[in-house]
Amino acid sequence: MDWNSSALWGIIGLIGGFFSSFIFHKISTKTKKIIYTKNSQTLVTNSLSEINGLNITFHNQPIKNLTSTTLTIRSVGKDIINLDDFGKATPLCIKTTECFFLQENVNSIICKNSNPNNLMKLIIKDEKTILLDFDYLSQEDEVEFVLLHTGTIEIDGKLKSGTLLNKNNSKKFDLFTINNLAFTLIYIAMFAQIMLYEYYDIALSNISYFTFF
């Protein structure tokens, strides 16, 4: 292989330039991305509530099943997220399939806010939905909630330009991950092509050598 070949160094330069541009692009690109996790524990089951003589109530209403869930939301993108980054029809909220059991001070369910400058308050829309009203979310800002509820629970909402991802669901790949994978595969393919050129040149050199002798 001729290491003095201008064509070879041109291809190597192209690969290097592409890889450098890719790294710079990923570092400099601002993205809006929120991930959330949930950890649920069942406190009351239907079978438990049916035991004779055992009455479990909340505000004098019988409880047949009850779950405690810790929800954590974290901003992991490089861009600041504001409240109006969510559509009016798809605001950031907490939803359950049945109902919540809340104290009079609904904000008491916020047990952690990593950024005290981010003023967050909760608004009860109905028995199944709690709206999250916040000032802004910077990179790595994290808010944690503990809620009592029946049914299943999720964080809901849609960013106008960005991603809201359930981290518990590891089988889903977001667009950011797919883009990274695509760029990596392209880089590997181009590197493999360079290696093939190298082995091809070596093979031709060997053929020329044996032909000469």
Least confident of 17-31, 45-59, 132-146: 17-31
Please give the model's pTM, rounded to 2 decimal places.
0.65
Q: Give 162-180 pLDDT, tens digit per residue.
A: 889 888 775 544 555 555 5
Q: Give 62-102 pLDDT, tens digit per residue.
A: 778 889 999 999 999 889 999 999 999 999 999 999 999 88
- Per the prediction, the chain carries an average pLDDT of 76
DSSP one-letter string for the chain: --TT-HHHHHHHHHHHHHHHHHHHHHHH----EEEEEEEEEEEE-HHHHTSTT---EETTEE-S-EEEEEEEEEE-SSS-EEGGGB-TTS--EEEESS-EE--SSGGGGEEEES-TTS-EEEEEEETTEEEEEESEE-TT-EEEEEEEESS-EEEE--BSSSEEEETT-TT---HHHHHHHHHHHHHHHHHHHHHHHHHHHHHHHHHHHHHH-
- Mean pLDDT for the stretch of residues 200-208: 51
